[in-house]
Amino acid sequence: MEIPRHWRLKKQRYALIGEVCPHCDAKIFPPRDVCPECHREAKDLFQFSGKGEIYSYTTIYEAPSGFDSNAPYTVALVKLSEGPMITAQLTDVDAAQVQIGMPVEMVTRKMRDDGDERGMIVYGYKFRPTLNHI
């Protein structure tokens, strides 16, 4: 597994660091060089709150390599409260309880083993139902 690649992504994975467009104030995640709203350059870092709600979800039974041992697990499109949408696994929730519109918050969890000889473990963001939500 490619260690530099995971190292490069650590700000996004551990702290949801995206960008804010200096021209139109759009919040951008994942980071990209061109603002999707105004098409100008975007480079300023911005930390997202990690709060959002479920736009859609799926429980995966046939998983890609590296994730087989976790199946079935649930992946969602989460609409972050600052605007952008993100693809992430759900955790600390029974798949049958998940609903579109459910408020969720980011947590850091183990994503997967590297499956080969180096024994590296990849951590990253997942989302769970917001704890103070009644």
Which 48-67 residues touch other proteins, going by CB under 8 A? 55-67
**Nearer to other proteins (CB atom), residue 13 or residue 130:** 13
Least distance to other proteins, CB of residue 64, Å: 4
The residue within the footprint of Zn ion, chosen from 3, 9, 24, 100 (CB under 5 A), is: 24
- Which helix (H) or strand (E) segment holds residue 12: the answer is helix 10-15
What does each C-alpha distance from 53 to 63, 97, 100 come to in angstroms? 24, 14, 8
Least distance to Zn ion, CB of residue 49, Å: 20
List the one residue out of 31, 18, 20 whose CA is nearest residue 106: 18
- The angle at the Cα of 47, spanning 86 to 127, to the nearest 5 degrees, equals 40
**Nearer to other proteins (CB atom), residue 50 or residue 124:** 124
Which 69-108 residues touch other proteins, going by CB under 8 A? 70, 73, 75-77, 84-89, 100
Q: What six digits make up the tokens of 45?
A: 């870092």
**Nearer to Zn ion (CB atom), residue 80 or residue 111:** 80
**Nearer to Zn ion (CB atom), residue 37 or residue 114:** 37
Decide the pairing of beta strands 27-28 and 44-47: unpaired
